[in-house]
């Protein structure tokens, strides 16, 4: 079922099975979303023009231009797939991370297929840690250390990082490893 557009749901992900029996996640760009985004971005530009003289502390023109560029890039799954593959190369030796394997032959601007990763949503994991007393606190702290280590390496060493780090873009595996599942904004 496709949900109505909201800024958080430009695409929908479905679980599927390839002919060889391998489970995959299929990410599909919502039909008509480019037109909706175009209207939203035009409204943002208009608002930023109107507010430039009122809000002088911010460079609203630059913010509007960069947001426009970033959102348009997120609507291209060929770019996202390339980002995911580059990221996987950079972090191939880090066994603490779980990264999707992109099906190169099954990608287009509107569709991307990757291996299915089974894990717990980050917020659910942190809630469970909070319920598990001192042992849960240790698991939470270990995950936070992993995330800090990862982001510092990605930013400071590689200069290539997940630039949309909301909880929905991460899963936590049973063994405490971190899965990163979205590479639209890098």
Q: How distant, in Å, are the alpha carbons of 125, 135, 136 from that of 131?
A: 10, 10, 7
Two tokens at 17? 């099975």
- SS3 state at 111: strand
Phi-psi bin for 175: left (phi > 0), alpha (psi -120 to 50), beta?
A: alpha
Q: Which of 172, 154, 156 is nearest to 164 (CA)?
A: 154
Longest alpha-carbon distance in the chain: 60
Helix intervals (H) in 52-176: 60-74, 77-90, 122-131, 133-152
Helix (H) or strand (E) holding 15, with range, is strand 11-17
Q: Is 127 designated active site?
A: no
Q: Which of 35, 132, 149, 164 is catalytic?
A: 164
The residues assigned a catalytic role are: 164
């Amino acid at each position: 079922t496709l949900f109505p557009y909201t800024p958080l749901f430009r695409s929908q992900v479905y679980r599927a099975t390839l002919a060889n029996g391998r489970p995959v996640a299929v990410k599909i760009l919502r039909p008509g979303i480019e037109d909706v985004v175009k209207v939203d971005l035009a409204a943002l530009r208009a608002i930023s023009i109107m507010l430039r003289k009122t809000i002088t502390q911010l460079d609203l023109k630059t913010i509007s231009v960069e947001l426009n560029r970033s959102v348009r890039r997120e609507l291209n799954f060929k770019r996202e797939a390339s980002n995911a593959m580059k990221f996987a190369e950079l972090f191939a030796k880090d066994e603490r991370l779980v990264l999707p394997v992109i099906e190169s032959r099954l990608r287009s601007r509107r569709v991307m297929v990757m291996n299915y990763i089974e894990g717990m949503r980050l917020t659910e994991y942190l809630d469970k840690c909070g319920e598990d007393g001192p042992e849960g606190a240790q698991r939470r702290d270990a995950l936070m250390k992993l995330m800090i280590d990862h982001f510092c390496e990605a930013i400071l060493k590689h200069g290539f990082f997940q630039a949309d780090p909301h909880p929905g873009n991460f899963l936590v595996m049973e063994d405490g490893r971190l899965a990163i599942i979205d590479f639209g904004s890098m």
